[in-house]
Structure 1
C-alpha cells in the first residue's frame, strides 16, 4: 500500500517545491533567523487581542509569513515519524547550541524528534493550521473579536518545534541502521 505524501507547499515562499522535511526546515530557518520567526509568531498572537491591525503598512508580508509557517508545520508533521529511523548524535560542548535548552526539556533537547511526536499526539496538523489561520485572521482585524478556541497550547508547541528544528540543524542527524536478524 502506497503512503500518501503530504505536499509541503514550499513553492509560495521558497520558489520551488521541496519534498524532504529536513530540506524544508533548513530552507525555512535559512530564510530568516529563529529569533525572527519566534518574534513574529509572538507578535501575531499578541495582536490577536488588540484593536490594531498587525503590520498594516505591509499586510502582504503577513501572507508570506503564513505560507512559510504552514510549510514548516507540514514538515514538522512529517518529522514526527522520523524518530524511529533517525537519531541525533551527541553534540560536543563546543558545538552546543546558543539556544541551549530554550523552551525544550532536557529529554527534548537530547531527542528533538520527541517535540514533534508530543505536539502531533496532542494536536493534528489540521489543528495547527487552524491555529495559524485563526491567529493571523484575528491579528489582521481592526477590532477585537471573541474566540473560543485554545490558542495558547498550539503556540507553545510551535515555539518548541522551532527550537527543536534549530537544534536539528545544529546537530548531526544520522539514519539508524536496521538490525540484521
Structure 2
C-alpha cells in the first residue's frame, strides 16, 4: 500500500508547491529569516491579551505568515520520523551556546529529537489549533478569556524553528546504521 504524502500547502505563501520537507526548509528560510519567524510568533502570543490588533494595517501579511507557519508544522511532522534513515551532519567540536539557541545539547546534536518530542506531546491538530487561535486572538482588538495552554505549543514551535534552521544549515546525510 502506497503512503499518501501530506501536502505542505506552500503555494499560498511561497508561490510554488514544495513536497520534500528538506527542500521546504530551504524555501521557508529564503522567504524570511529565523529571527523574523521567532519575533512574529512572539508578537502573536503577546497580542493575544491586548486590546490592539497585531499589525492592524496589514492583516493580509499576518494571514500569509499564518499559512507559512501551518506549512512549517506539516513539514516538521513529516521530519519527525526521518532520523531512522537520515541524520544531520555533525555539529562542530566547539559550538557557541548562542548557536544552540533554545535547544539542549542533545537536541543540538540531533535536531530530529525536537520534532519527536513535540509531536509525542501534542498532535498536529493541537498545533494547528494553537496557531489558529493565537493568530485569531492577535488580530482581534478585544481581550478574550481563554483556557487553552499557549505556552507549551509556543515553546515547542520555537524549538522546532531552531531545529529546522540547524538542519538547513548543516545539511543531512544517510544514516549508515
1:147 aligned residue: 146
List gaps (5 residues or longer) in structure 2.
none
Runs of 4+ in 1 over 3 A off after TM superposition: 96-99
- In 2, distance between residues paired with 1:125 and 1:117? 12
- What is the TM-score with the length of structure 1 in the denominator? 0.93
Aligned residues: CA RMSD: 1.5
- In 1, distance between residues paired with 2:5 and 2:123? 16
Residue pair 1:91, 1:172 contacting (<8 A) in 2 also: no
- What is the TM-score with the length of structure 2 in the denominator? 0.95
Shift of 1:56: 0.5
Shift of 1:97: 7.0
List gaps (5 residues or longer) in structure 1.
none
* Paired residues for 1:51-70 under 5 Å: 51-70=51-70
1:110 aligned residue: 109
Shift of 1:99: 4.6
Shift of 1:172: 3.1
- In 1, distance between residues paired with 2:153 and 2:98? 21
Shift of 1:135: 0.3
The count of corresponding residues between Structure 1 and Structure 2 is 177
Residue pair 2:91, 2:109 contacting (<8 A) in 1 also: no
- In 2, distance between residues paired with 1:73 and 1:21? 10
1:132 aligned residue: 131
